Structure 1
């Protein structure tokens, strides 16, 4: 499923977008994804398997539905997400991400450690997603 085309970005918005992409580090994203995979036993693969993980889009696509994130927080704190939506509807996937974030707060993360739903779902600030997962992992250990 593709998001609506948002058109080109100019000016300050463009500078912010470039800065955000520079903060994203694929090696850290892969470490975070490996940790999620290890804890949940979920098969988290990019949509295009023969290509492998090449950039931030593949990282986002592997977590975008929020299912693995909900399973992760439910393993760490059983019952944090009472119902994980398995559907492919965008609003259900975004609801999963929101429930994961609420579970993270219950687990002990501070609001400034979290990302926004659109950071992951619309691939806006993926470095914040990685940072959140690292913070959660640090709290676990």
Structure 2
């Protein structure tokens, strides 16, 4: 499992504070986020109305519902499924690094939403680099460039491998 980075966690908390315009409690990173309330407030500031109900009282199960509502809102906002953490990653502190990566993914995605004008998290996303070549340019380059298929065949080969799935016997 990757190691936690206190500098990244601090940056995430500072970003959340700036977005929700609310001072966060002076607690460890995972404790601030654990009940999901601040996460729901965060997504509601970024995309208003994303989470309709934020539970502020109750046991562990009610707090897990906040985290699940946040995760559903992330999916609707466009955060890729593979970048969203599992509920237990946060509530049971199984993989806090994944929580941080997920929040960075959200911060990165806000750059693609022009309606969001708040503070940014993480590096600036690259702009599209469209290239338009004329037919003459494409034809000229195809004639002058040597393709990789015309490359060299004197290195290691798979001869003696024996087929897909087999190990090589030496």
Specify which of 12, 28, 39 is matched with residue 8 of structure 2. Answer: 28
Which gives a bigger RCO, structure 1 or 2 (Cα 8 Å, sep 6+)?
1
Partner of 1:6: none
Partner of 1:85: 55
Specify which of 25, 45, 56 is matched with residue 75 of structure 1. Answer: 45
**SS, match of residue 135 in structure 1:** helix
Give unmatched runs, 5+ long, in structure 1. Answer: 1-18, 48-57
Shift in Å, 1:78? 1.4
The 1-side partners of 2:22 and 2:31 are apart by 14
Which consecutive segments of 4 or more residues in structure 1 shift more than 3 A? none
Partner of 1:124: 94
Specify which of 81, 103, 113 is matched with residue 111 of structure 1. Answer: 81
1:65 aligns with 2:35: yes
The 1-side partners of 2:58 and 2:30 are apart by 15
Of structures 1 and 2, the larger Rg is shown by: 2
Partner of 1:8: none
Shift in Å, 1:46? 3.5
Partner of 2:22: 42
**SS, match of residue 17 in structure 2:** helix
1:134 aligns with 2:104: yes
The 1-side partners of 2:89 and 2:21 are apart by 24
**SS, match of residue 88 in structure 2:** helix
**SS, match of residue 48 in structure 2:** coil
Contact preservation (8 Å) 1:80, 1:103: yes
Contact preservation (8 Å) 1:42, 1:68: no
How many residues of Structure 1 are paired with residues of Structure 2 in the alignment? 111
**SS, match of residue 26 in structure 2:** coil
**SS, match of residue 33 in structure 1:** helix
